[in-house]
Amino acid sequence: MIKFFSKDFDLPITAAGQTFKKTFELDKSVKVITHYTILSNREDLAYYRGSFRLDINKDEIAPDGYSAKKVMCWASVPADQRLRSIGRRETGNGLINFEFTDTNDGLTVFQPYTVSLSVEGEREE
């Protein structure tokens, strides 16, 4: 039986102007990823300073340097439209590689923050 799956993976950003990488492992029952977005506890920092790279099962979803603001959701966007659709990506080995790059800019002052990769998909039971 196919059920809805949703999970957030956290990546702490602890230094300005650096790239942070993490590999997340999905549960084996998760078969397909359909949507994703980036959330943060400091939305302004992630929005103005962030770019990222994402691949699921070695399948490139977003290339290096893709701006976080392109997938971050606005408060004014309806809740059911906030995640970015990527079709049906099979999870395969279940590994999600996520790299987040912080870039110094003229609008914000760096403070440690956390970005979350939020994914939605389907799992089998």
Partner 1 sequence: MRARVIVKEITIRKQGEVQFFQIRLPKNAVRIIGVDSDIILISALEPQVDGGVRPDKENGVPPFVEVNRAPFLRGTTKSNPTIGKLKLQSLDRHNIFFETWLSFIYLNSSMPDMRYGLFPKSPYSLNRNSYPKPVHVPVNNMAINGLFTDAIGTRRQSDMIYKVKVFLWIETNEPATGVNYDFELKTNSH
CB 30 within 8 A of CB 91: yes
- By the rule CB under 8 A, 105 interacts with partner 1: yes
C-beta neighbour count of 16 within 10 angstroms: 15
* Choice from 1, 3, 106, 111 touching partner 1 (CB under 8 A): 106
**Residue closer to partner 1 (CB basis): 4 or 78:** 78
**Residue closer to partner 1 (CB basis): 26 or 51:** 51
- By the rule CB under 8 A, 89 interacts with partner 1: yes
In whole angstroms, what is the distance from residue 104 CA to residue 114 CA?
A: 16
Site string for partner 1, 35-74 (x = CB under 8 A): --------xx--xx-----------x-xxxxxx-xxx-xx
* Choice from 4, 107, 111, 125 touching partner 1 (CB under 8 A): 107
In whole angstroms, what is the distance from residue 111 CA to residue 97 CA?
A: 24
In whole angstroms, what is the distance from residue 100 CA to residue 121 CA?
A: 22
